């Protein structure tokens, strides 16, 4: 009982610290500090990615620095750092990320494809991390509140899937990838996000001109992508033979464990948002 309480306490304290840090940075940090914070997340998540694909500690940090440097280059080249985004470049990066999640990831999950080339693994990490990182920096420039609301979609879906799955879950969603996930949990995630979308629309926290039907359809589609992102990381950890991507966050595993669904949804969200500008 005491051990369970300790684990729960660590999880709650870590979550509270992460949420407080995110809110402070999102609403009060100057743009360069926000971008630097995203670079730190890319660095830490990139190191965990490299460890998952079998690299040693030194090589993993080297690979992580490569990811962070690539993000920094895209941040400068895209014009986001100057407050004048180059839309064609941003859209190209987001399309590359979206294409990865719509093509290679579904094939990998359905066919249980185990990639042989570590170069392919490393390159896929760039396609996972760079579009998502650039998306959250770009979208924050448009509206910090809207970005937070869209990030919260992932948390709403994840919490609903967890609690509905524990209470009513019977049928496995992907038994060979993540046995704990259920069809009922996924249905709960869609239902919770539908309610969340209606609440956001009622309070006016939607892109200008978006109808309730359009907004609801987009958020439900993003929920499906979020589940895919979660399953893809679960598949990676299963192939690597580990439970968590890392141990940096007490009670929560690694950094990549916290952002897996966001890496999948952010490129799609950014494309949708950029098309409305």
Domain coordinates in residue numbering, the chain:
2-275
Q: pLDDT band at residue 250, thresholds of 50, 70 and 90?
A: low
Q: How does pLDDT run across 72-127, given as a tens digit for each residue?
A: 999 999 988 777 788 889 999 999 999 999 998 988 888 766 666 778 889 999 99
For residues 264 and 242, what is the distance between their CA atoms, to the nearest angstrom?
21
Assess whether pLDDT exceeds 90 at residue 180: no
In contact, 59 and 50? CB cutoff 8 Å: yes
Cα 216 from Cα 193, distance rounded (Å): 8
Question: With contact defined as beta carbons under 8 Å apart, do 262 and 138 qualify?
Answer: no
**Greater model confidence, 13 or 89:** 89
Rg over alpha carbons for the chain, rounded to the nearest Å, is 18
Phi-psi domain of 274 (left: phi exceeds 0; alpha: psi -120 through 50; beta: other) = alpha
pLDDT at res. 237: 85
Residues 150, 138: Cα–Cα separation, whole Å: 13
Are residues 181 and 170 in contact, defined by beta-carbon separation less than 8 angstroms?
no
Estimate the crossing angle of helix 87-99 against helix 255-275, to 10 degrees. Answer: 130
What's the residue count for the chain?
277
d(CA 99, CA 161): 26
pTM to 2 decimal places? 0.90
pLDDT category at 3 given cuts 50, 70, 90 is: very low
Contacts of 128 (CB under 8 A, 6+ apart): 49, 97, 100, 263
CA distance 56 to 196: 42
Residues 6 or more apart whose CB falls under 8 angstroms from that of 64 comprise 42, 43, 44, 46, 47, 49, 50
Long-range CB contacts for residues 218-221, cutoff 8 Å, separation at least 24: 218/272, 219/153, 219/193, 219/194, 220/190, 220/193, 220/194, 221/268
């Amino acid at each position: 009982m005491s051990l369970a309480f300790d684990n729960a306490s660590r999880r709650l304290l870590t979550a509270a610290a992460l949420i407080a840090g995110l809110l402070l940075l999102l609403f009060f940090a100057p743009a360069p500090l926000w971008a630097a914070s995203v670079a730190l997340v890319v660095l830490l998540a990139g190191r965990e990615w490299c460890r998952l694909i079998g690299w040693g500690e030194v090589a993993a940090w080297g690979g992580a620095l490569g990811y962070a440097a690539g993000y920094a280059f895209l941040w400068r080249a895209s014009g986001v750092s100057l407050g004048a985004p180059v839309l064609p470049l941003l859209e190209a990066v987001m399309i590359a990320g979206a294409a990865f999640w719509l093509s290679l990831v579904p094939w990998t999950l359905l066919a249980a494809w185990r990639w042989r080339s570590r170069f392919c693994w490393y390159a896929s990490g760039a396609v996972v991390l760079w579009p998502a990182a650039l998306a959250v920096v770009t979208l924050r420039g448009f509206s910090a509140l809207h970005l937070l609301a869209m990030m919260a979609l992932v948390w709403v879906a994840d919490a609903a899937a967890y609690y509905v799955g524990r209470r009513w879950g019977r049928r496995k969603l992907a038994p060979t990838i993540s046995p704990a996930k259920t069809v009922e949990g996924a249905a709960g995630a869609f239902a919770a996000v539908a309610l969340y979308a209606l609440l956001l629309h009622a309070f006016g926290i939607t892109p200008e001109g978006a109808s309730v039907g359009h907004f609801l359809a987009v958020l439900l589609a993003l929920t499906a992508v979020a589940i895919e992102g979660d399953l893809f990381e679960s598949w990676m950890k299963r192939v690597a033979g580990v439970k968590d991507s890392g141990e940096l966050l007490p009670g929560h595993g690694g950094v990549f464990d916290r952002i897996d669904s966001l890496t999948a949804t952010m490129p799609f969200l950014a494309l949708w948002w950029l098309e409305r500008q």
